[in-house]
Structures are given as C-alpha cells and as structure tokens.
Structure 1
Amino acid sequence: MRRLRWLALGLSLLGSVQATAVLEGRSLRFEDGAALVWQRSFPVALGDLSGPVEAGGLTYLGVGPVIYAFTPAGEVLGRADLPGQVTSLDAGAGAVRVSTQEAGYVERFTLTLQDGGLGVAERVVPPPDPAVTGWLTAAADLVPQKEVGRAAAADPTNPFLALREARLASARGDLYASLSAVRHALNTTLPFPAWVQLAARLDAAGFPSAADLALEHAQRDAAERGFDPELPVGRDALLAYGNPSAYVGTLLEQNRLTRAEAWMRYLRELHPRFEGGPALYERYAATLATQGRAGEAEEWRQFARSLRGGTLYNLGLEGTRALRDAARLSALSLLLALLAALLTLGARAWRVQGEDTREYGGRFLAWGRRPLSRARRLTVAYASAGERLTLVLLSAALFTALGGWQWSNLVSNSLRAPALNTGTYGGGWVNAEFARLSLRPGPDTALLSGLNAQLDGDLSVAREHYTRALPAPCARNNLGVIAQARGDEPQAREQYRTALAARPDLSAAAFNLGLSPSTPELTFQQTYRSGQPRLCYPDQRSLTRAMTGDLSASLMRNLREPLSLVTAAPGNSARLGWALLGALALVAGLAFTLLLPRAASEARLGRPAAYRLLALLLPGAALLGGAWGSVLLLGWAASLAALLPLSGLVRFAELLDLSTPGVRLGLLGALGLTYLLNTLAFITAEIRAARQARMEAQQDS
C-alpha cells in the first residue's frame, strides 16, 4: 500500500506543471493557471490555518496543531502532529521548518519525509492539553454522517474517520467493509494520546482485539517519546492522554471485567503512578475479590503497596494527605494540652493573683498603672520552674506541629505541579512550566534540569547540570548514560558502579550493569526500550527538596523570616500562617517567664476547689511538675482530639477511620485509662496534701 502511494506521488510529480497552491479564507486551492485542480476546505473549529508552503513538489498546510502534506493531485501524503498551534511555516534552507506556540512558549520543528508519510526530526512531547491531544477526534466528529465516506477518503491519516466508516458498515451488516476500515484505522501513525482515544472507541464499537492493539501502539509511541512509568501523571494530564482511568471506571460499572483488565494492564505498565491510582487499584481488587479471584486481588493490592517506595516516608503517592492529617491531629492535641494546663494553673493562682494585684487596682487596671509589676504577676509566674518548662516545651511542639501542617500543605501543592505530573520531562510545555516554579538551588534541581535537557537530546547541557548535581548517585547514573551514548563503555560502567555503590537500591544503575532487578519500570524498559540504558529519575523526596526543602529547612525559614508566614503563596494558608506566628510569639513569651522568680510559694497557693475540679476533669494538667504529668496530659489530649471527628467539627480522613468499631473502642479505652490513672494520682496528691497540712498544724501547735 505504501509503495503504491509513493509511486502515485512520483507520477504526479513527473506529470505536474507549474501549479500553485493558494489559501483563500478557509479553503486551500491548487490552481494550474486559470484552472482549478483541487480544493480543500477546513471548518473554523479545526483552528487557525498556516501557510501554505511548497517544497519538494509537496504543499504543506498547518491546521490547528497539525501539518498536512498534499501531493499536486490533492492527496494527503502525511500528517505531522505537533504540541501546539502552528503559527508559521518556512521552506528555506532545503527543509520545512514549523513554529508552534502555546501560552508562554514557542517551539521550532523540522519536518521530514518518512516511509510512512510525514515526520518530525525533533522530539515531540504532547502537552496535557485536550485541545491538542484530542484534535483528531474533534476533527472526525465534525464531519456529518452522510459525508463520512468522502471525508475518510480525503484524509486517510485520520483513523477516527475510518472507525466511523467501520461502524456505519457494521450497521449495514457489511462485516468485510467494517473490518477493512478497522484495519485501516490501525495502520496509521498517531501520538499515544490519540491511540488511547482510538482504543476506547474501538472498545465501545465492539472491536476488543483492535482496542488491545491500539493500546499496544500507545505504549510503544509513549516509550519512543520519553514517557516513563516511574514518573507520576496528574489527573489533568491523564484526561488529555485519553482518560483511561475514567474508562476503567465505566467498564467496572458495566461489569465488563475482561475489558477492564486490559485497560488496567495498560495503566499498570505505562502510568502506574497516576493521580487517584490507589483508589482505583483498591476498587479493581475488590471487584476481583467479589468474582472469587482473591489471589489476583491480593496481587493488585501488593502492586499498589509496592508503589510506595520512594515516596515521602513511604506513605504512598498521596501520602501528603496523611502527613497533613497527622500534623493537624498533633497540633490539635498540643493546643488542647496547653489550654488545659493554662486553665488549671490559672485556677490555682486566681485567688493569690487577685490579692497581689489589689493594691495596683486589680488584675486589669494594674496593666495601666503598674505594667511592670503586673507583668511580674502573670498567671504563669505562679507556676513552678518545672511547670513553666513543660509549658515552653508544649508551645514549641505546637509551633513544630503547625509548621509540619504548613509544610505538608506546601509539599502537597508542590508535588501536584503540572510540570512534575506529565509522565515525562522536557518538551516546550514542561520547560515553560518549570520556568514558573520556584526551584531551590541544589543537586536536586540540577538533576531535574539535566533530565529535561537529556530527554530533549541536548547532552552537553545535560552533562553540565549533572556535574553540578554530583555526588548524587542519580546524576552519576545519567552521566553514565551520556557516556554510553558517546560509545565510552568503560566510563559508563564506572559511573554505574559508583552510583550503585553509593545507593545500593538504585534500580537504574543495577539495570545498566546487567543485574536486572524486578520493578515495573524496568519491565517497561526491557519491553519497549530494549537495548537502551536506563535513566534515573528523582523520587518524591528529591522533588520535595527541590521544591520546598525538608521540614527542618522549612521550620528554620519560619524562624528566620516570621513575616513570611502570613505572605500569600501557593499552598500557604493565611490563617495557618497567623497561627504559626501566634505560636512563635507564645514560645517566646513562655520562654521569657523562665527568667522570672516564682510569684508565690506552693503553700500559699494551696489547692482551691476550682483547681481540684479541673485536676479531675483534665488528666495530667495538675501534675506538670513531674515527668509523668505531661505524658498523661498529652495522652488525654491526643485521645480526645482523635475522637473529635465524631462531633463533625474536624476530620482526619486519611489517618483515622472512626467508622471502624475497633478504632473507636481503642480511643475510648485510651481516654478512659487516662482518667483512671489521673484519678489515682489525684487521690494520692490529696492524701499527701492532707498529711502535709496535718504536720504543719501539729508543728504550729
């Protein structure tokens, strides 16, 4: 078939005279003098037109994000799919150059003639833009049903038109014509998002085997373009890439488990780390279990668990939500403990504080008349040194917990950055997005920049970035890949060995040395990039260091620049920032009280009734002078905070499931235990106080 097309092209070129291509409005006309040879019109919905340009006997026209090459006879020789709207065509210097533009970036490509039609010399990375990746589908859907046959003949490079032909033939009962149209649809060249869209339509049309073949083509094309299963894929990107996860959900709702299995295999092999993956894996495993396939269900659950490696604290792809809930629970527990301690200490000091401030006009007027004397008689000043130290530690822990909460929000927002969730690095869209990110200078950022350049084929720039990233093992591995591409095998193997020695779990270096560890990424590499060395990609911990820094770095930044806490920033909550600023002020204030002498003795303070009541109701709050008092107070506060979701006021959805009876009983049991221990300690303290009072009375008498 291809030989006949090239023969027809040659004959048309030999027989052609000085004809000219002219673009009038939305119509491309090919005129031979005053005679019209052929004409092709393009609907407005297909996008802007660019050109035409004539080179080598062919006419090139940009239509939206694609380039068509027409023969002098008006036949479509080929189509090139580009990552943005075509803005210009240039046929100078013996090559056809194309410019594409999207929001904020411009790319330049060189068109080539290949055996299969029209190609692009440079790497083309489909952006996560449905208007670009879904252009072929939209173009086919614009054609009225009565004109499908003519449109398919006019544009044999659009497989969605051929599929519409197949469905019409099936409706007529013409099975041969239907299968012929399906074979023609599969005998095209497409970017992988279009293959996925075609596979979904083939599935819906009743051609499951053809759909499986389209998914296989999608994986091969994605591998050639530099996409890799080790990199995460966000929800928006997956939507632009054919939305296979949503289609799996549809198949599960329809109970088409056999077809769902094929699509789950596709996701597992190409996009295992997609947003929402853990939930879909669990749903699929549960469906398998209900079908009596418990072994397969457990295998899928085990696969989902294996994806936790390299994530933050190995919590999984969406583990930042669990970190956030843990920080919120810790902050709430510490806040309850602080309030309980201050309330109890205030109840004990209330009477004596009133007596001491009476001569200055009372508790409140004293701030205006004698502020220094009033500050000397703060409620905390009546606490012992051990109690004040405990309050300082609790407030510092509260600041740390709030900082962890803010950090988890920032990390979650950073890791969801579109540039990090396309399944690959490099390409105009990713590079433009990277320029908008506030990356921290360091080895991790240099590694990212090196990968962008290496995947785009700029090895000299990549080597410069990797050199700045040394001695990072990942950078050493990728330097070895560059050396191997130059033919320097000894240098490459030395880099791989050094990387593996520094990090024994680095699967890329082990693969490149021929050790072949078993991971989904390496299976993909062996299948679709056989014979090529394996690149090392940064994990979540590396990306976090590049985007926000570690938790310790974030806390130190908060201490150095406290006003930055309330500055608007992506992922930064103003209310949380003010809470952090307040916690920092509380730490400073309580730390200052450590310098003050105690305002009253233990004997003068006594054990007022309100203090005793609070000592019973708030476990550990009256025992802060001893080490076990703070333990009891924190245990009570943590148990109470964990049970608060029952009230509907707060939620810790990713951390605690209070709908489980065992969890509720465990927390209630822990809360009851704190009250039991506190009651025993309270009785002991009351007995000790009574004995002390009796001894003092005997001494006075």
Structure 2
Amino acid sequence: MRRALLLALLGGLFLDGVAGADAALVGRTLRFEDGPALRWARTYPAELGDLTGPVTLGDTVYLGVGPMVDAVGEDGRLRARYALPAPVTSLDATGGTLRVSTQGDGYVERFTLGDPGGGGEVLERVVFPPDPEVTGWLARAARLVPTEDLARAAREDPLNPFLALAEAGQAARRGDRYATLEAVRRTLGAELPFPAWVQLAAGLDAAGFPAAADLALDRARRDAAARGYDPEVRVSRQALFAYGNPSGYVGTLLDQGRLGRAEVWMRYLRDLHPRFEGGPALYARYADLLDAQGRGGEAEEWRQFSRGLRAGTLYNLGPEAPQQVRAVLRLVTLALLLALGAALLALTLRAWRVQGEDLRPLGGRWASWGRHPLARARRVAVLYAPFGERLVLVALAAGLLTSVAGWQWANGAAARLQAPALNIGTYGGGWYAAQLDDLDLRATPDTALLAGLSAQLDGDESAARDRYARAPGDPCALNNLGVIAQARGDLPQARDLYRAALADRPDLAAAAYNLGLSPGTPGTLFQRAYRPGEPRLCYPDDRSLTRAVQGDLSVTLMRDLRDPLGTLAPGPGQGVRLGWAFLAALGVLAGLALALLVPRPTGAHRQGRPAPYRLAALLLPGSSLLEGAWGGVLLLAWGAALAGLASPAGLIRFPPPEGLVQPGTRGLLLTLLASTYVLNTAAFIAAELRYARRRRRERAAT
C-alpha cells in the first residue's frame, strides 16, 4: 500500500513537471520553458514577418512566421514547416486539429494543417499569389544568417535548403568534396512549394551542381502540377518573377553562352509555363542561337512550338493579339479620317463660291451664324452635295465610329486579359477571387465556365456544377462535368459527357485526352507526365476569356451608344482622349445622318467644277468621284496607303502592326498609292471631258 502511494506521488510530480512545460513568445523569441528552466529558444528576425501564436497541440508547438507556420517539437527540433499564401493572422487548435487563418489584401483564407510527420502538408489547396514576399520567404531567411552562424542555423533549421546550399558553397571553396556533396544532398531533402524549388534550382545551377538543379526543377513541376498549375493558363512577367524568375535565368544563361543549361530551363518553361509573358521573343532568341550552332532542326521545332501556342488566341495572332488588333484599328481609324477629311474638303471647295453668294444676304459666311443660325445651318457645304455623296460621307463616318469603338475594345481586351488574376498559371484561391472581383465580369456562359473551373480546382464540386449549369451546352463545361462524374465513380456518364464535348468541338484536346486519344498539346503532354491517371480539365482559351472580361466589339459599341458619356469614365484600357474621340465621331455621324434628311439649297446646281475643286480632285484620289461606288473605294485605298506609310516614315507615334514591318510591305503600299493616283487621273480626265461636253450642250441650247 505504501509502495503504491509512493508511485502515485512520484507520478503526480512527473505530470506536474510536464504540465508546467509550455511555449511562450517573448519579443521575437519562442521559448520553451519547464518551470524556471529553459529547454530551448528560437529567435526570428523581424524581416521574416509578424509572429502569431504560439499554439501547442499534442507534443508540437506551432508558430506563425509571416506566411509560414513552424511546427517545433518539445525537444526543440523543427518537425515541419507549412507554406501558406499570405501572412498568418491566427492559429486555432480547438477540436484537435490546427486551423490557420491568413489575410491578404482584401481577402481572408482558412486552412487545416496536417500532421507534422507528413512533411508540412496543408489539407486544402494553396494557391500562391505573385508576391515575392511570400514565395521568396525561405531564400530571404537564409540570406539573413551571418556567415559565421551558418552551421548553427543549418542545424536548427534543416527544412531550409538554402542554408544547406550556402554550406555547400562554403565546403566547395574549402575543397571538402565530401562535405559539399553531403550539403547538396540535404538541399533536396525537404518538401518545398514549387517557387522555392525553382529558386533553389537556380542557386544549385549557379553553384555548379547541374544534376541537383535538374532534380529540383523536376520537383518544381510535380509540386506545381499537384497544386493545379497548368500550361494552358498564361503567366505574367510579375508572376514568373515571384515563382523563381526562370525566364530571367534563361536570359542570363544565354548571355553567358551556356546553351546546354539554357535548354534545361527552356524545357521547364515549355512544360509548365509555355504561355509566359515575353515567351515568343525568348523562343525566337533561343531558336536563333540554335541556328547559329548549326542545329536548324531543333530551332525549327522551337519556332513551330511557339507558332502552335497561337491557337485559341484572338484571330490566332498569338498572346499579343489584342495589341495587334489595336495597331490595325489605329491605322484603320487614320485611313478613315484621311478619307472623310479629303471628301469634306473637296465638297467644301466645290460649294465655296455658290455658298458665299447664298450667304451674302444673310450677313456673310461667318456673321450669318449669329444673325440667322437656322438659315445658315441650311447652307453648310455638305448640303450642297447630292444625296449619293452624302450617303458615302455617312458610311465613312459610321466606319470611323466603329473603328474608334474597336480601338476602345482592343484597349479594354488587352488590359483585362493582362489582369493579374488571369495570369498566375492557375485559377482559384483567395487572392485570385479578390482580384477577379475588380474585373466586374459580364454574366455570360464564358464567365460561368471560368467561375466553375475555379471552384472545381479549389475542390468545391457542388459549386462547380452549379456554375457550369449557367453555361449549358458549352463543350468545355461538359468536359469538366465529365471530370466531376469520373471523380465520383460514374465513368459511363463521364464518357458520355466527353463525347458530347468532343462532338460539339472536335479540336477540344481535353475531351480527346479523356477518351483515350493522344492529342499533343502542351496541356495534355503535361497531364500525361505529371498527373498520370487523372482526367484532364478544360481551360478557357483567350477567345473565351475575352468574351468573359470584355465581350465582343458589338457589345462595346452598343454599350457606348447607350451611354456615350460613359466612354469618358476611367476603367481598364479606357482612355479619356479616346472617349472624346468617340464622342466626336458620334457627333460627326449624327450630323451627317441628319444631313440626309435636308434638301439641297436651290443654288446647288450652280457649283460646277471650280479650279480649287479640280486641284483637290487631282491631289485627293476618289474625292471627286463619290457619286459612283468606285469613288469611295478609291478614296479608302488612298487613305489606307497613306496611313500604312505614315508609320514607317515616323509620322505617327503608334507602333505599326507586325505586317507593316515585313520586308516588301513598304513597296506594296507605295505601289497601291501610285495606283490610286493613276486610276484617279484617268477618272478625272474622263469627268472633265464629260463636264466639257455638257457645258457645250448647255451653251448650244441657250
């Protein structure tokens, strides 16, 4: 009995000692104290972000450090590190699981942390925003360690491979080959998010460990694939910089002439981020260097790959399609302005003498506006033209209004397609949703497809089905509904949905892949290599995204016509000067359309062909032939030739379309311009002969 009592007392004392051990945060130092005794302590520099916690769950202490959560055992060893998309704001261990809240700019996300023995697994999907403060946390933490403290820091933090990489560099400089290889081995022993793997690969490559760098890049691909990043989604230069800046490192390798290593990194970009901003230029540069080395076959393969990425873009013009459309519409606008201005000038010169005679009783050409405004308005130069010529002017003004609206549309499409939310390599996540709200998407099937895909990637299949229902019959939505059916084990329904999607759109690579065919697109090749056995999701192409964020040209034109003053409001790609240009074009069109309803002044038949008008008719091809159908065509051809030549000559500041910088284009434009003058001269001579015969007949009749 005494023995049992003694054991119970000793057990109680032991439990009291364990219960007294607890973690506390003092300043920026995490301390684990057992009563008055300090078991261990870890200090975090202020540059790593705010500290949250600590929270103890079981035998593990959790502390939020910026966008990371460290899981430390009671023995002081770092057991796991969880990478999150934004700074941690709270830790909650109620219910036996650890819940973490993170807060970004305008959004909050909550995650559940897995067992630290699993290597830092976050149970929900984590989408990293293009923020180097988040994705570069590990590399930044390693840079903060002084050289003399490197060995100690590496022992205390074995989950930061950048510390091991720094140790490998030190050992290599000492000539200690064994220590170098051991440190390199430790760099590859942690579980990291893919941006950290890319940064680590660049460091390994620069330090002279290419095999380890190749392995790090492969792990980056696999981690990105597991997180839902996909080659079909575009990546901006800003996002790529936050994800390790692989394109920038390729540029460094090419500058150094290390084409062999550049090929490895180009393959990484081609596999995971083929649609990155600036990709066509880098692909072209790499192909040119391959050509210079006599590797023409490989060079042509890269050029063909770059051309293949144009499929699904606007008019298959590539990722810069909106900018190319805008450049064309600028020249169209200039051509229409020249044509309309030339026509109005010619008509004014023809009516000038007769108009002056008619206005003399009213007070003169200018004073009559104040004395008799209505009578003066009845005698503007345009009203002296016959109905056919006025109709041509209206057509030119309508074309001008449409081209300005198209210019606005191209501006808006370019700006909205470059929105950060649509250029991070994937969809979904809190940062994405917050950014997407700023785009004010239109309620269309394409928008429903985008929303459904985001929910499906985030694991919310119920929300995904509800949103896909708003895009009935859309082939992409049908394919993704098939993926949901296959995930719940209903393979027959899934295959029916895949077949329906492929029947409606035979070029849909995702549905073909899911039916067991072998399309060779970047997305399906990536799926086969890094997500084997999983069905392929369908991602919206640039055409679908444009319809979702901007609508087509008719939508923009009708919106601007319903609310003309709205064109002056700021918005993505919305310029005030272009808004004023639209209002001016609308005013010109309204005035010319109204002129169709007003009869000609009684003295219009006395206009004849005065000398200034004849000079204008010779210098401005087509301006004196507007009553015939070919006059307007000739005038437009002349305006188009001049507009096309204005850009190479440096007369306008806008960059020209790609076609205008091709060899031989300038010669073709000069030929077109000369042809308009030749045809116009022949038509002018014929018109003069007809006019002379008519005058002779009139004199003979009198």
TM-score (ref. length: structure 2): 0.96
Q: Percent identity?
A: 63
CA-CA distance at 1:37 after TM superposition = 0.9
Partner of 2:50: 48
Partner of 1:194: 196
User: How many angstroms apart in 2 are the aligned matches of 1:288 and 1:518?
Assistant: 23
User: How many angstroms apart in 2 are the aligned matches of 1:129 and 1:204?
Assistant: 24
Unaligned runs of 5+ in 2: 1-14
CA-CA distance at 1:630 after TM superposition = 0.8
Q: Is the 8 A contact 1:126 1:191 kept in 2?
A: no
Q: Deviations over 1:259-293 (max 9, x none)?
A: 11110000000000011111111111111111111
- Structure 2: which amino acid aligns with 1:340? A
In the alignment, which of 26, 29, 32 is matched to residue 27 of structure 1?
Answer: 29
Q: Is the 8 A contact 1:476 1:498 kept in 2?
A: yes
Deviates more, 1:31-40 or 1:391-400: 31-40
CA-CA distance at 1:118 after TM superposition = 2.5
Q: Deviations over 1:63-82 (max 9, x none)?
A: 11111111111111111111
Q: Is the 8 A contact 1:321 1:654 kept in 2?
A: no
User: How many angstroms apart in 2 are the aligned matches of 1:673 and 1:550?
Assistant: 36
In the alignment, which of 169, 181, 184 is matched to residue 182 of structure 1?
Answer: 184
CA-CA distance at 1:368 after TM superposition = 2.1
Q: Is the 8 A contact 1:619 1:636 kept in 2?
A: yes
User: How many angstroms apart in 1 are the aligned matches of 2:259 and 2:119?
Assistant: 38
Deviates more, 1:522-531 or 1:293-302: 293-302
Partner of 2:436: 434
CA-CA distance at 1:21 after TM superposition = 0.9
Question: Structure 1's 235 and 20: CA in aligned 2 closer, same or farther, altered over 3 A?
Answer: same
Q: Is the 8 A contact 1:193 1:218 kept in 2?
A: yes
Counterpart secondary structure, 1:468: coil
Matches within 5 A, 1:537-616: 537-599=539-601, 603-616=605-618
Q: Is the 8 A contact 1:162 1:181 kept in 2?
A: yes
Q: Deviations over 1:176-202 (max 9, x none)?
A: 111111111011100000000001111
Q: Does 1:617 align with 2:615?
A: no
CA-CA distance at 1:43 after TM superposition = 0.7
User: How many angstroms apart in 1 are the aligned matches of 2:666 and 2:18?
Assistant: 84
User: How many angstroms apart in 2 are the aligned matches of 1:125 and 1:366?
Assistant: 70
In the alignment, which of 680, 698, 701 is matched to residue 700 of structure 2?
Answer: 698
User: How many angstroms apart in 1 are the aligned matches of 2:334 and 2:406?
Assistant: 13
User: How many angstroms apart in 1 are the aligned matches of 2:300 and 2:24?
Assistant: 63
Q: Does 1:231 align with 2:210?
A: no
Q: Is the 8 A contact 2:129 2:431 kept in 1?
A: yes
Question: Structure 1's 47 and 237: CA in aligned 2 closer, same or farther, altered over 3 A?
Answer: same
Partner of 1:243: 245
- Structure 1: which amino acid aligns with 2:514? N
CA-CA distance at 1:598 after TM superposition = 2.1
Matches within 5 A, 1:164-179: 164-179=166-181
Counterpart secondary structure, 1:423: coil
Partner of 1:642: 644
- Structure 2: which amino acid aligns with 1:248? V
Partner of 1:670: 672
Q: Is the 8 A contact 2:236 2:276 kept in 1?
A: yes
CA-CA distance at 1:656 after TM superposition = 4.7
In the alignment, which of 18, 26, 39 is matched to residue 37 of structure 1?
Answer: 39
Partner of 1:9: none
Counterpart secondary structure, 2:151: helix
Q: Is the 8 A contact 1:444 1:545 kept in 2?
A: yes
- Structure 2: which amino acid aligns with 1:104? G
CA-CA distance at 1:153 after TM superposition = 0.8
Matches within 5 A, 1:55-66: 55-66=57-68
CA-CA distance at 1:397 after TM superposition = 0.1
Partner of 2:92: 90
Q: Is the 8 A contact 2:324 2:658 kept in 1?
A: no
Q: Is the 8 A contact 1:329 1:652 kept in 2?
A: no
- Structure 2: which amino acid aligns with 1:459? E
- Structure 2: which amino acid aligns with 1:570? P
User: How many angstroms apart in 2 are the aligned matches of 1:543 and 1:654?
Assistant: 25
- Structure 2: which amino acid aligns with 1:608? P
CA-CA distance at 1:684 after TM superposition = 1.4
TM-score (ref. length: structure 1): 0.96
Partner of 2:261: 259
Partner of 2:5: none
Question: Structure 1's 661 and 54: CA in aligned 2 closer, same or farther, altered over 3 A?
Answer: closer
User: How many angstroms apart in 2 are the aligned matches of 1:489 and 1:67?
Assistant: 40
Q: Is the 8 A contact 1:271 1:423 kept in 2?
A: yes
Q: Is the 8 A contact 1:97 1:109 kept in 2?
A: yes
Question: Structure 1's 327 and 58: CA in aligned 2 closer, same or farther, altered over 3 A?
Answer: same
User: How many angstroms apart in 2 are the aligned matches of 1:559 and 1:435?
Assistant: 26
CA-CA distance at 1:304 after TM superposition = 0.6
Counterpart secondary structure, 1:79: strand
Partner of 1:109: 111
Counterpart secondary structure, 1:461: helix
Q: Is the 8 A contact 2:80 2:117 kept in 1?
A: no
Counterpart secondary structure, 1:67: strand
- Structure 2: which amino acid aligns with 1:534? R
User: How many angstroms apart in 2 are the aligned matches of 1:512 and 1:230?
Assistant: 16
Counterpart secondary structure, 2:470: helix
In the alignment, which of 149, 152, 155 is matched to residue 150 of structure 1?
Answer: 152
Unaligned runs of 5+ in 1: 1-12
Q: Deviations over 1:411-443 (max 9, x none)?
A: 001101111111111111111112222011121
User: How many angstroms apart in 2 are the aligned matches of 1:383 and 1:462?
Assistant: 61
Partner of 1:72: 74
Question: Structure 1's 415 and 660: CA in aligned 2 closer, same or farther, altered over 3 A?
Answer: closer
CA-CA distance at 1:657 after TM superposition = 6.4
Matches within 5 A, 1:161-560: 161-560=163-562
Partner of 1:7: none
Counterpart secondary structure, 1:339: helix
- Structure 2: which amino acid aligns with 1:238? L
CA-CA distance at 1:654 after TM superposition = 4.9
CA-CA distance at 1:18 after TM superposition = 4.1
Q: Deviations over 1:540-572 (max 9, x none)?
A: 111111111111111111111111111222210
CA-CA distance at 1:649 after TM superposition = 3.4
Counterpart secondary structure, 1:118: coil
CA-CA distance at 1:661 after TM superposition = 5.2
User: How many angstroms apart in 1 are the aligned matches of 2:584 and 2:87?
Assistant: 51
Q: Deviations over 1:342-396 (max 9, x none)?
A: 0011000000000011100011122222222211111001111111000000000
Q: Is the 8 A contact 2:647 2:655 kept in 1?
A: no
Query: What do you get for the CA RMSD once the two structures are aligned?
Result: 1.5
Q: Is the 8 A contact 2:79 2:116 kept in 1?
A: no
Question: Structure 1's 656 and 486: CA in aligned 2 closer, same or farther, altered over 3 A?
Answer: closer
Q: Is the 8 A contact 2:202 2:249 kept in 1?
A: yes
CA-CA distance at 1:499 after TM superposition = 1.2
